[in-house]
Amino acid sequence: MYFTVSIEVQIVLAICLFYGYDAALALQPHQGLLRAGARRWHGRLAMSGFELRRAWLLWPPIFLPHQPLYRLNWDATHIALAGDLSTTQRLAADAQRVKGFALPIYLLAAWLFVLLPAALLVLHSQQLQLIALGLIYLTTLWLSALAWRHGRHGHAKEARSIALQILLCPPFALNVVKKLSLADKHARPDLLLAAKQLLSTADWKVLAAQAHQAIARELQEIAGLPELAERHQALEKSLQLLTAELPQEIE
């Protein structure tokens, strides 16, 4: 007995898989994410994801594709929690510039995950399928034009590449804000410095605790290795600095 899947179901599954694949992010251990939410910023370290060989795999909230993401680095041996605010302010300004993407992103999501599946699996209407496909490509073209225009803010080459890429695969267009915010690599602040400035006090303490745990774990791993004595000393200083940022019960 063979189990077969209809072409209509395969199409819907392919759309979901393409979107899920494109939403995933691979980060190095010294990296993390800042996400601009509706009312506040959110932060994550790479090690909060799934370990995959020498990288960490993370999925941002898949139901919030309009929120920009910034991949930032941090150095466990050199932590500075006070400094120039200009690069952090630049991140906040960039997050404001992508608000115009929200409407077409959620329209495209409705066409891809509601209208097209309904036409394929429920109503079995060829006319509605053609309408859905037309709406999908018109909305994708809208997002592509917005991405192209967004390149005027300093990363035109990357923005043009993204604009063309999403035209070839509409499910990728759902992640256009993430792609644009990750592509802008100019004047990126240190992760922990930006997090302290942008996150709420409670969220910052959670992130600081994660960094504290990561440094404490590395200190245990390199203890007793004379060739890493200098790094050990630098990590101890960083650990002391982060300890002052933790809630008293965690210290």
**What distance separates the 2 farthest-apart alpha carbons in the chain?**
73
Distance (Å) of CA 67 to CA 35, 58, 61: 7, 15, 9
Query: Is the pLDDT at 251 greater than 50, yes or no?
Result: no
* CA nearest to 145, candidates 171, 163, 169, 166: 163
> What pLDDT band is residue 86 in, cutting at 50, 70 and 90?
confident
- One DSSP character per residue, 28-66 reads -TTEEEEEE-SSSEEEEEGGGSEEETTEEEE---TT-TT
Whether pLDDT at 1 is above 50: no
Say what the alpha-carbon torsion angle 211, 213, 216, 221 is, to the nearest 10 degrees. Answer: -100
Q: Confidence class of residue 243 from pLDDT cuts 50, 70 and 90?
A: confident
Distance between CA atoms of residues 136 and 116, nearest Å: 9
| Secondary structure (3-state) at 70 | strand
CB atoms inside a 10 Å sphere around CB 135: 17
Domain map of the chain by residue range? 7-183, 200-243
Written as one string, the DSSP assignment of 146-212 is HHHHHGGGS-HHHHHHHHHHHHH-HHHHTTHHHHHHHH--TTPPPHHHHHHHHS-HHHHHHHHHHHH
Q: Round to whole Å and give the CA distance between 212 and 20.
A: 31
Rounded to whole angstroms, the Cα distance separating 21 from 23 reads 5
- The most confident of the ranges 80-84, 105-109, 165-169 is 105-109
Give buried/exposed letters for 38-48 (b at 16+ CB in 10 A, else e).
eeebbbbbbbe
For the whole prediction, is pTM greater than 0.75? yes
What's the pLDDT tens digit per position in 192-239? 988 888 899 889 999 999 898 888 888 888 887 777 788 888 888 888
Which of 66-80, 97-111, 178-192, 207-221 is modeled with the greatest confidence?
Answer: 97-111
